[in-house]
Amino acid sequence: MLKIDIQGGELAVFKNASRKLADAVFIQTEVAYVPLYEGQPVLGELDLELRHLGFIPHCFASTKKAIIPPFRVGSSPWTTLNQLLDGDMVYVRDFRDLSAMSMEQLKLMAIIAHGCYESWDLSYRIIQHLESERQILPQSCESYLGIVNALLARSGND
């Protein structure tokens, strides 16, 4: 997993680190919707490069909004409305063909999806694949559903 926020230099890293990223299963990167720095690549440019490297968008980890000047709401200069500025976007190795990844990558992807992003559906899909490939114990899917249901019950979201 790579977490990167280097003030607009992300695209240069992605373009020059394809070998290093070959084993990665998640990338959480800052994305700009509106460039704040001269020459800063925006979401579309990062998205194209990450897709080229075999990743697809998974979720937004955070999003920062702003207000378009000179408009103001109240006396606070920090009040925001709907204009997107930047945020963190999570990309995942394209899981539509799980057989293209190593068993180690799949196991790490399931752990990170579960523990970092609460992406239980992705974890379940991987566990199901690993179970069908006899890489983990039978009944692992059933056990995992029990874990997720217990988490949901504790949080009141069942």
Q: What value does the mean pLDDT take over residues 69-83?
A: 84
What's the mean per-residue pLDDT of the chain? 92
Lowest mean pLDDT among 68-77, 85-94, 110-119: 68-77
- As given in the structure block, the two tokens for residue 128 are 């199901």
**Are 20 and 85 found together in one domain?**
yes
pTM value is: 0.89
Last residue of a domain, one of 94, 116, 149: 94
For residue 155, what pLDDT band results from cuts at 50, 70 and 90?
confident
Which residue in 96, 99, 109, 89 sits closest to 23, CA to CA? Answer: 109
Last residue of a domain, one of 94, 111, 137: 94
**Are 102 and 36 found together in one domain?**
no
Residue-level pLDDT at 97? 93
**Are 3 and 81 found together in one domain?**
yes
Domain range for residue 16? 1-94
**Are 63 and 102 found together in one domain?**
no
Last residue of a domain, one of 94, 127, 145: 94
